């Protein structure tokens, strides 16, 4: 058997418990292995005959095969039932630092960059595990496997941008079918929905906070219900569980744009969603040096459809961008938690400032969706917005701050500031923005990893030095 195929079979270990009975080794191997009839003990014997090392990370349990020997270790295991040894589910921080590239024959600690467009085949009539990077690449497979694990998904797919990922999801919808989407959404999403309408898809945009309005909009022709929570930029909180129940009762699927939260703070598939979209440009990579999007899905049917679209449309993320993302993602948990801590302090400061009219941040107890949000997420994140009551003052703040970059996007290690009506949401007609409560004086902040005291002093000066009217 090919060495590469052997290692690739352990990319997605499914075992959660170790039974010390030898019959344990007779369980079927993972789906990724070329022959579903092969048994795990045969794999171990084959590994030994080829002098391959299979670490506990490869196997998913504390075992290693060196030459023809198999060692089982039960140190660190918790007590299980019926003689089983169960392992504690690792936290996201541990997964991020410990997720390796089990297919690499040299045991590289960092995932190698397979910067190639095509792969040599065993012969003209045999196909190896990879043939063309558009269809698959080892570096991309590692990132996709990691994202599936983080999102608790059956499969995950990485795209050239968040918008490419969203567009792939819309390709699941046939003409005359319906999409029900929120009305307080990212400007790029709103632009994409305009294009989707031209394909003959019916798009209804509703206030997702009003469950009666959502229920009225969803019907037998509804194929997809699409939401963000918290919304961007007004931080409205949507009840993901109840929206999923309403959608599923009509046979529709639910997609949640989780970019503002990241999988560190929220895992919508656990709340009833069928698809989770992440703009990996944001918190996942975290350094403003690449563009990427992710679709994580439940079920083999959706996975097959998305995989086909990714290959057919050629929108799979390039190996170098996958490698950059894998490098940045290792610190995602640390970054998100530190950014969130600073954001909460900034939100408290702004909410008490005499020149700030209103602060939108789900982490504040005064936020109307505070309790609901913390029923479905572990934290409020690091994106917030506020109103000053004056466009002139808001513009002055954005132009005056020293430690915030005036730019679109969020989730970077660098703090960012923007006026959404003139930047990220400028493509939405002014009348529509006004009807949705998106006013021109709204300031959005994405908090980075700078010293929060510096950020507070910077913002305070910018606000106090601004025009009075």
Q: Cβ contacts of residue 258 below 8 Å, gap of 6+?
A: 266, 268, 276, 277, 278
Q: Is 257 a catalytic residue?
A: yes
Residue of 38, 134, 191, 242 marked catalytic = 134
Q: Cβ contacts of residue 61 below 8 Å, gap of 6+?
A: 13, 15, 17, 18, 87
Residue of 239, 257, 321, 458 marked catalytic = 257
* Pairing relationship of beta strands 253-257 and 222-228 according to DSSP bridges: parallel
Gap between the Cα atoms of 114 and 380, Å rounded: 37
Query: Exposed e or buried b for every residue in 205-233, given b needs 16+ CB within 10 A?
Result: bbbbbeeeebbebbeeebbbbbbbbbbbb
Angle made by CA atoms 133, 2, 140, in degrees to the nearest 5: 25
Gap between the Cα atoms of 142 and 139, Å rounded: 5
Q: Is 134 a catalytic residue?
A: yes
Gap between the Cα atoms of 464 and 461, Å rounded: 5
Gap between the Cα atoms of 216 and 211, Å rounded: 9
Gap between the Cα atoms of 27 and 265, Å rounded: 35
Gap between the Cα atoms of 199 and 206, Å rounded: 20
Residue of 12, 114, 186, 361 marked catalytic = 186
Gap between the Cα atoms of 386 and 352, Å rounded: 12
Gap between the Cα atoms of 114 and 133, Å rounded: 9
User: End-to-end CA distance of the chain, in Å?
Assistant: 75
Residue of 223, 282, 433, 444 marked catalytic = 282
In the Cβ-directed half-sphere of 15, how many Cα atoms lie within 13 Å?
A: 23
Q: Is 274 a catalytic residue?
A: no
Q: Is 186 a catalytic residue?
A: yes
Which residues does the annotation mark as catalytic?
A: 134, 186, 257, 282
């Amino acid at each position: 058997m090919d060495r590469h195929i052997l290692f690739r079979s352990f990319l997605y270990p499914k075992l959660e418990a170790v039974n010390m009975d030898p019959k344990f080794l007779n369980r079927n191997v993972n789906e990724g292995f070329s022959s579903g009839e092969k048994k795990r003990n045969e794999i171990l014997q084959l590994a030994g005959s080829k002098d391959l090392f299979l670490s506990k990370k490869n196997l998913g349990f504390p075992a290693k095969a060196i030459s023809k020997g198999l060692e089982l270790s039960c140190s660190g295991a918790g007590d299980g039932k019926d003689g089983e040894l169960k392992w504690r589910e690792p936290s996201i921080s541990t997964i991020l630092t410990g997720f390796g590239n089990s297919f690499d024959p040299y045991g590289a600690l960092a995932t190698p960059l397979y910067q190639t467009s095509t792969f040599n085949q065993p012969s003209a009539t045999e196909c190896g595990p990879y043939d063309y990077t558009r269809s698959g690449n080892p570096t991309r497979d590692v990132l996709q496997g990691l994202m599936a694990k983080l999102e608790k998904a059956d499969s995950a797919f990485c795209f050239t941008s968040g918008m490419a990922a969203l567009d792939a999801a819309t390709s699941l919808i046939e003409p005359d079918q319906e999409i029900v989407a929120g009305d307080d959404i990212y400007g790029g999403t709103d632009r994409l929905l305009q294009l989707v309408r031209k394909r003959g898809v019916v798009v209804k945009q509703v206030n997702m906070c009003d469950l009666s309005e959502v229920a009225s909009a969803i019907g037998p022709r509804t194929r997809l219900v699409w939401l963000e929570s918290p919304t961007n930029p007004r931080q409205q909180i949507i009840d993901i569980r109840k929206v999923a129940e309403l959608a599923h009762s009509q046979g529709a699927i639910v997609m949640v744009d989780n970019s503002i939260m990241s999988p560190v703070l929220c895992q919508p598939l656990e709340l009833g969603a069928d698809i989770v979209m992440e703009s990996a440009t944001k918190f996942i990579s975290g350094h403003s040096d690449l563009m990427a999007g992710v679709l994580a899905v439940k079920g083999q049917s959706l996975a097959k459809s998305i995989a086909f679209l990714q290959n057919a449309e050629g929108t799979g993320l390039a190996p170098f961008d996958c490698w950059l993302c894998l490098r940045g993602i290792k610190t995602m948990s640390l970054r998100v938690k530190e950014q969130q801590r600073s954001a909460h302090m900034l939100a408290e400061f702004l909410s008490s400032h005499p020149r700030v009219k209103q602060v939108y941040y789900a982490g504040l107890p005064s936020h109307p969706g505070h309790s609901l949000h913390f029923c479905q997420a572990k934290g409020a994140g690091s994106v917030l917005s506020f109103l000053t009551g004056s466009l002139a003052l808001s513009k002055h703040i954005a132009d005056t701050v020293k430690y915030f970059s005036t730019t679109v996007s969020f989730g970077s290690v660098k703090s960012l500031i923007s006026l959404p009506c003139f930047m990220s949401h400028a493509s939405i007609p002014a009348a529509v923005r006004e009807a949705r409560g998106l006013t021109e004086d709204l300031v959005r902040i994405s908090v980075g990893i700078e010293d929060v005291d510096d950020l507070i002093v910077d913002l305070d000066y910018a606000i106090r030095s601004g025009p009075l009217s």
